[in-house]
A and B are shown apart, each in its own frame.
Chain A
Amino acid sequence: MSTASVTAAPAETRLHRLANFWADFRQSPVAVAALAVIVVIVLMAVFAPLVAPQDPYNQETLDLFDARLEPGEIGSGGYVHWIGTDAAGRDVFSAILYGLRTSLIVGVMAGALALVLGASVGLVAAYYGGRVEALIMRVIDLQLSLPAILLALVLVAMLGQGLPQLIAALVAAQYAYFARTTHGAASAERRKDYIEAALSTPLPARQVLFRHLLPNALPPLIVVATVQVANSIALEATLSFLGLGLPLTQPSLGSLISNGFQFLLSGRYWISIYPGIALMLTVVAINLVGDQVRNVLNPRRSR
């Protein structure tokens, strides 16, 4: 019994902490609604083949007779195009679901890779200190002084188009935020006496890094990660809109909007407006959730 209670204790406190976090998070109805929106969006994207009435990239199901149908019209497929079709006869709703997939994959992948890269760089800087730290942080600061869109533009121009290139560009443009955040939290902890004490024992470096420095950097990292996923999605959409992101064979929300832009002035608004609404909902919802997570995790939050 005693062993069971000992091993169960940490899990229980972790659960308890999670429950506390949720209780605090729930204080903002807006954030809860935003979280619900995100869940719905992710589910729709994951199960797109089941939800969408049409596979928008299977050429055989497309019919040019269905091109630019207005919202609510019934096409040759025999079902209602609730939000119309685009110039190639694609059901806009289906295109959005598949576009969401691409956008979310790009955003999450870029965010996760930037997190790993940035956190590693920040931890290394904080752990070694001295010249290594000075050099790394100087580079990071310089990079942060340039806007992400500019860096992404340069990289896309250099690397060319395609999914891996795009993700690489987004990671390179955004890892610096994670590095700065990690470094800030970890180096504050690094200066504490107990770390000095741990370092003077033959404890492996990774133990200090992962047991002590990383956990302290986690709360701010979670906040930055949420916001950066939204930023990645927005940045990818922007690049795709500019024609520098993903090719139309692999469309994201950005390319869908770009694709419909030329029809906007002639009044066929639905081809780009609806993908835009999906993009806006996604990005704003993630940001709202991120805001509330920041409020909850911030120890000196004042209301």
Chain B
Amino acid sequence: MIGFLIQRILQALMVVIAMSVIVFLGVYAIGNPIDVMIDPASDQALRESLIQRYGFDRPLYEQYFIFMNNMLHGDLGESFIYRLPVLELILSRLPATLELALTAMMIATCLGIPLGLWAGYKPDSLSAKAIMGFSVLGFSVPTFWVGLLLIMAFAVELGWLPSGGRGPTTEVLGMQLSITSLEGWSYIILPAFNLALFKLGLLIRLTRAGTIEVMSSDFVRFARAQGLSEGKVVGLHVLKNISIPIVTVFGLELGSTLAFAVVTETVFNWPGMGKLIIDSITVLDRPVMVAYLILVVFLFVIINLVVDLIYGQLDPRIRVKAAS
């Protein structure tokens, strides 16, 4: 088990390092960042001093090592545009994104698992077919387009909910959160639902497939032969068995939800990390781009690691394999 853990951690480290090189090179190798930072008409002395200050005159690999060294000390550079430390900038946007992503995952889970269970329990019923149709829409229609439709329907036509932005926030454990107030919810519900749709479609499919498989298994037949009620069969046997793939996907999808938040945040003008990165790409604010990408990859790797560990806890068969 320890060996497995160490192997996974080493692997994770390698991914982060590889990604940091690719991202750094890719992002810094194009264009001249100095042109973005200052007015092209400004004098040569200012130019020189800035080049010196940011180290643009050094060879790329030196810049990378300086960058990595700084990163290890928690310094990811300074935004060209906001003139703020990048880490501070990104972290200030993190709660908004996390709040959005977690609310979306919650919506997807609370709707997706029951709907998927039903669709798998009665696969031939009309309602199951409607659920499956919905799930196809959920993960094939592009997120941003659904977002537009939601704004169109609930903000423009019905006028029930605001069309974008984030509501009033209160500080909880040092983080600014908006889900603490009803008004905050009115702002988050549309983008969260929008972000949830893809996961919802995925979760419905996954739960349905798992349910159909488990329902046709011998142990469900045996459980019924023991006189277990249908509720007990589903609640005990089906739920426990499908929980394994679902937890895996849930974990992996948490990472991709953070990535997909880029789209939803842009549509709903939600002031999170995703909005920040899109703005940064458009104006070529490189330190922000690099730091964001490395941070997201880092989060991803951590999530994958945790999912692997939870997976082992849930499935006794794996636990035995890992131990032996």
In their complex, do chains A and B touch, with some C-beta pair under 8 Å?
Answer: yes
* Interface set of A (CB-CB < 8 Å, partner B): 142, 145-147, 149-150, 153-160, 230, 234, 237-238, 241-244, 257, 261, 264-265, 267, 269, 272-273, 276, 279-280, 283-284, 286-288, 291
When distances are taken between beta carbons in the complex, the residues of chain A under 8 Å from B15 are: 142
When distances are taken between beta carbons in the complex, the residues of chain A under 8 Å from B141 are: 234, 280, 283-284
Instruction: Report which of A145, A153, A238, A284 forms a contact with B143, defined as CB distance below 8 A.
Output: A238
Q: For chain A, what secondary structure do more than half of its interface residues adopt (helix, strand, loop), or is it mixed?
A: helix
Interface pair B143/A146, CB less than 8 Å apart? no
Interface pair B277/A153, CB less than 8 Å apart? yes
Q: Which of B80-88, B108-116, B252-260 contacts A (4 or more CB under 8 A)?
A: B252-260
Interface pair B27/A238, CB less than 8 Å apart? no
Does B9 sit within 8 A of A, measured CB to CB? no
Query: Chain A residue with minimal CB distance to B257?
Result: A147
27 examples of A-B residue contacts, CB within 8 angstroms? A145-B300, A145-B304, A146-B297, A146-B300, A147-B255, A149-B256, A149-B259, A149-B260, A149-B263, A150-B259, A154-B293, A156-B281, A157-B281, A158-B27, A237-B145, A238-B263, A242-B262, A242-B263, A242-B266, A244-B282, A257-B144, A257-B145, A269-B152, A269-B156, A272-B148, A280-B142, A283-B140
The number of A-B residue pairs with CB atoms under 8 Å apart is: 103
Q: For chain B, what secondary structure do more than half of its interface residues adopt (helix, strand, loop), or is it mixed?
A: helix
Interface pair A234/B281, CB less than 8 Å apart? no
When distances are taken between beta carbons in the complex, the residues of chain A under 8 Å from B142 are: 234, 237-238, 241, 279-280, 283
Query: Chain B residue with minimal CB distance to A144?
Result: B252
Interface pair A153/B151, CB less than 8 Å apart? no
Does B174 sit within 8 A of A, measured CB to CB? no
Chain B interface size, under 10 / 10 to 19 / 20 to 34 / 35 or more: 35 or more
Query: Chain B residue with minimal CB distance to A261?
Result: B148
CB distance from B55 to the nearest CB of A (A): 20
Top 9 closest A-B pairs, CB basis? A158-B26, A147-B256, A287-B140, A150-B259, A234-B142, A147-B259, A157-B281, A276-B145, A241-B144
Given A264-B156, A283-B141, are A243 and B282 neighbors across the interface (CB < 8 Å)?
yes
When distances are taken between beta carbons in the complex, the residues of chain B under 8 Å from A155 are: 26
Interface pair A264/B148, CB less than 8 Å apart? yes
B276-308 at interface with A (beta carbon < 8 Å): 277-278, 281-282, 289, 293, 296-297, 300, 304
Given A150-B259, A264-B156, are A238 and B144 neighbors across the interface (CB < 8 Å)?
yes
Interface pair A149/B262, CB less than 8 Å apart? yes
Interface pair B281/A153, CB less than 8 Å apart? yes
